[in-house]
Amino acid sequence: MAYTAAALGFMLENLGKPVVLTGSMVPLANVHNDAQRNIVVSAMVAADLDAPEVLIFMNKVLLRGVRATKVPQTAALFQPVICCPEHVCSVQIDAGDYAAFDSPNFPPLATLGVNLDVQPKLLMPQPRKRLKVHYNLDTRILCLRCPTSPQLWVNPICLMRDDPLHLTLTR
């Protein structure tokens, strides 16, 4: 979803309305799920919020789509447990919360509590031009996560390729 949001964010230049992507960690068919809340709040954001950009709503936070990234899950949702010597059962454990996405180095545009607490100063202004959809995407893109300073990696990577490369380095 983070890659989809980023791609849409760059494809839809001068977007004048919010495009909200959402999902859930627990399916809608389960009694205790986050799907219903995510769908309802996403529809409310799309209808009422003056945010002309691609957004992701998950786990009670609204993130800018081009800045969102997937959060690695530290706990498995299902853990094998030995019930008796001849059976191994799969028991659902608490994964802590429904955090699936984050926006490093940039705060959420809104957080959900009793109400949706929007940070208006963080929202993009309305575009002054008409919507322009970019259909042709450049596939020569490389995204690296560098554990140290990203500048140390640029020269060796650029030397490996003969053709121009769009490079995104994150930390």
Domain residues of the chain, as ranges?
Answer: 2-122, 136-170
Instruction: Say what the pLDDT of residue 34 is.
Output: 87
Residues 64-116 pLDDT 10s: 999 888 877 654 444 444 444 554 444 444 445 667 888 888 899 999 999 99
Q: Taking the CA of residue 148 as centre, how many other CA atoms within 13 Å lie in the half-sphere pointing to its CB?
A: 4
Residues 128-169 pLDDT 10s: 999 999 998 877 776 666 655 555 555 555 545 555 555 554
Q: Which CATH number fits domain 2-122: 3.40.50.1170, 3.40.50.2300, 2.40.160.100, 3.40.50.300?
A: 3.40.50.1170
Q: Does 61 score more than 50 pLDDT?
A: yes
CB 11 within 8 A of CB 133: yes
Identity at 88, one-letter amino acid code: V
Instruction: Say what the pLDDT of residue 82 is.
Output: 45
This prediction has a pTM of 0.71
C-alpha to C-alpha distances, 23 to 56, 78, 98, 138, nearest whole angstrom: 9, 20, 11, 27
